[in-house]
Amino acid sequence: MSEQQPPSYFKRHIFFCTNHRAQGEACCANHQAQQAFDHCKQKVRELGLAGPGQVRVNKAGCLDRCAGGPVAVVYPEAVWYTFVDHADLDEIVERHLKSGEVVERLRLPESVGR
């Protein structure tokens, strides 16, 4: 008899890097990461996607992909995104967080690191 995993508390999690680095080093905070987080959180709430069994929007410290900033990652799919504006974030919310469809044009290339 196989043991089933209990359902996850949240269906999806999106983590936004909001890290700030000193001395002008590349970092997501230099790309309005906090504003992106705030916008995404508000959009998720407006669409009724927030809460247990649905979507959780979180801040994160350094996610070590600074060169691609700003970055966010969606779990459980482990899809990394970069974005330019609120329209990009809205597309991630509508297509991925709501419908489970990866937004290929906003995926962060695997080769991008710190």
* Residues of the chain with confidence (pLDDT) below 50: none
Residue 6 pLDDT: 61
Q: With pLDDT > 70 as the criterion, what percentage of the chain qualifies?
A: 94
Residue 3 pLDDT: 62
Residue 27 pLDDT: 86
Q: Give the C-alpha separation, 101 to 72, whole Å.
A: 16
Over the chain, what is the mean pLDDT? 91
Residue 12 tokens read as 């999806």
Residue 68 pLDDT: 86
Residue 4 pLDDT: 62
Closest CA to 106 of 85, 25, 98: 85
Preceding amide of 6 cis, omega within 30? no
**What are the structural domains of the chain?**
12-106 (3.40.30.10)
The one-letter amino acid at 94: E
Residue 82 tokens read as 């970069």
pLDDT per residue over 30-62, tens digit each? 889 999 999 999 999 999 999 999 999 999 999
